[in-house]
Structure 1
Amino acid sequence: MQSLVRRLTVVTRYHHHQPQPNLSFNPHRISQTRPSTHIAQPSNLGHHIPSPSSAIHHFHSCRSQSMIVRNYLSNLFAKNLLHRTLPRVHFHRQNFNFNHNYNSYRRGWRSWFYGLTPNDAVLGLIVANAAIYLFWRVASQKFMINNFTISLDNIKSGRLHTLITNAFSHVDTWHLISNMIGLYFFGMNIACKFGSNFLLNLYFAGAIGGSVFYLVHQAYKAQTSKGWGAIDASKKVALGASGAVNAVMLLDIFLNPRATLYLDFIIPVPAALLGIFLIGKDMLRIIEGDSTISGSAHLGGMAVAAIAWAGVRKGRF
């Protein structure tokens, strides 16, 4: 009797702790599956031992379940891998944009150039002219003549940069001072009205215009002269900022013809009258053949000023 009671107690405790079987198993929903746990108990407890066919069915169910989990994890891993890899490929592709630094440098240089104040532009031109004037004192004469003067021989030799560099070159001290005084007063008026960029473009255009007019005049003299006259015209050099300064000064006179200007800082004259006087004096120099001051270079600057004045009146600047 005591043994029978002990056996019933063991069976009751085992049934109390035994997990309930999952009767609604769906192999397509992973969250509802629970792995079955079979505890091997002694035969005298009366538990059911599964048959071989049911064990084989349970093995195939677990195998299909593991295949579903494996495919799901593989797809999830592949999607995450592609999602994380594509931005990295795009990032590395941007590193091969070699034009990025050049464009940044170009934008930075332009912003600096257009950010110059009128005072910066005028003083910059004056400092550049003064630096070349001092350079004439320390550099070799041959180097300076080949690179900072304008002549037919320099152009024939391919030194085209002299079309501009001669407009920063002075040998005589009073020549430098007079040009820089005119550049400061008239250049400040132009820069304050149209901007520093306009002043710099006008200065360079006046330099090129003065050089072209001088070369044309020298070529004409070389064609009409004979012997040493033709050779002298080909080798004759010119330098100075007079053509560029003339472009700045005459543009200001064209825009303000009724203003009062002081000739030689003493004599007050109307701006229009002073402009007529300067143009007539340069034409007389060409006719008389003045060998000291090039009237043709001055007229080249005047032509640039006239073109700029016409552009301003038409609203192009």
Structure 2
Amino acid sequence: MANVAVFFLWRIADSNFMYQNFTISVDNFSSGRVHTLITSAFSHIDVGHIVSNMIGLYFFGMNIGRVFGPEFLLKLYISGAIVGSIFYLVHHAFLAQLFKERRIWSMSPPSRVPGLGASGAVNAIMLLEIFLFPKSTLYFDFIIPVPAILLGIFLIGKDLLRIIEGDPQVSGSAHLGGAAVAAATWLRLHRRMRF
């Protein structure tokens, strides 16, 4: 619901206000807008972005919520959001340093590039389910049945490739932040279940 509300807020609020308060960037964060670690994960501008994230959140979130409860699901979402934002900041701070040293060329300084979307949070939820149930069948692109673990490997590999290739549209670093939360949560649950 919060994602949809912020999506509509983009249509009526001042765009400078939205960029300052609902996107993550090195400049935004270093200006004291720490809240953007979370608010950026509820923020989507285009329809395709919010629809794909909300489909993932619905299907994987329903399963995780059913097994562990809604409070666990919310904590996982927020953790994925924060760690995804931190990974994004670290990656863009590194790129900004390279930009300063003239090792890379870019249209705008990486410290100003805004990030937004629930992808890091959704990745935490989706990959936790994959780690918990690696032999279950998932449908790649809603068509091709594959073992969950293969889809998980593909998703993580694709995000690493995005970072290496410098994909300007999708933040592999934020996705990997979500993956890190999923892995840490899986380890914690795994240890608890063994004893």
TM-score, with length taken from structure 1: 0.59
2:3 pairs with 1:129: yes
Per the alignment, residue 181 of structure 2 pairs with 304
Report % sequence identity.
64
Cα distance between partner residues in 2 of 1:167 and 1:223? 25
CA distance in 2, matches of 1:136, 1:267: 35
Pairing 1:270–2:143 present? no
Is 1:252 the counterpart of 2:129? The answer is: yes
Is the Cα contact below 8 Å between 1:203 and 1:245 reproduced in 2?
yes
Which string of whole-angstrom CA distances, capped at 9 and with x for unpartnered residues, describes residues 7-52 of structure 1? xxxxxxxxxxxxxxxxxxxxxxxxxxxxxxxxxxxxxxxxxxxxxx
Contact 1:223–1:230 (8 Å) recurs in 2: no
Query: Would you say the 8 A contact 2:80–2:124 is kept in 1?
Result: yes
Amino acid of the residue matched to residue 150 of structure 2?
L
Cross-structure match for 2:71: 197
Query: Is the CA contact (8 Å cut-off) linking 1:202 and 1:248 kept in structure 2?
Result: yes
Measured in 2, the distance between the counterparts of 1:249 and 1:229 equals 32
**Residue identity opposite 2:21 in structure 1:** N
CA distance in 2, matches of 1:147, 1:169: 10
What does 1:203-242 correspond to in 2, within 5 Å? 203-226=77-100, 229=106, 232-242=109-119
Q: Deviations over 1:72-94 (max 9, x none)?
A: xxxxxxxxxxxxxxxxxxxxxxx
Q: 1:175 to 1:231 in 2, by over 3 A?
A: closer
Q: CA shift at 1:223, angstroms?
A: 1.2
- Once the two structures are superposed, residues 170-228 of structure 1 have per-residue CA deviations (whole angstroms, 9 ceiling, x without a partner) of 01101100100000010011111111110000000000010000000001111122357
Aligned residue for 1:150, secondary structure, equals coil
Name the structure 2 match of 1:28: none
For residue 39 of structure 2, what is the amino acid of its counterpart? T
> What corresponds to 1:76 in structure 2?
none
- TM, length-normalised to structure 2: 0.94
Matched, 1:141 2:15: yes
- 2:35 is matched with which residue? 161
Partner-residue secondary structure (3-state), 1:283: helix
Structure 1 residue 231: Cα displacement: 6.1
Tell me, in whole angstroms, the C-alpha distance in 2 between the residues paired with 1:140 and 1:262. Answer: 40
Measure, in 1, the Cα distance between the counterparts of 2:106 and 2:29: 19
Q: Which residue of 2 aligns with 1:120?
A: none
Q: Report the CA distance between 1:230 and its aligned residue.
A: 10
Distance 1:172 1:231, change over 3 A: closer
Secondary structure of 1:261 counterpart: strand
Question: Closer, same or farther in 2 for the Cα pair 1:230/1:307, shift >3 Å?
Answer: farther
Deviation at 1:157, TM superposition (A): 0.9
Count of matched residue pairs = 190
Unaligned runs of 5+ in 1: 1-126
Distance 1:191 1:218 in 2: 33
C-alpha contact 2:99 2:109 (8 A) present in aligned 1: no
Shift, 1:130, TM fit: 0.6
Equivalent residue letter for 2:113: K
Q: Which has the higher contact order (CA 8 A, sep 6+)?
A: 2
SS of structure 2 residue aligned to 1:315: helix
Residues 55-94 of structure 1 mapped to structure 2, 5 A cutoff: none
Rg larger in structure = 1
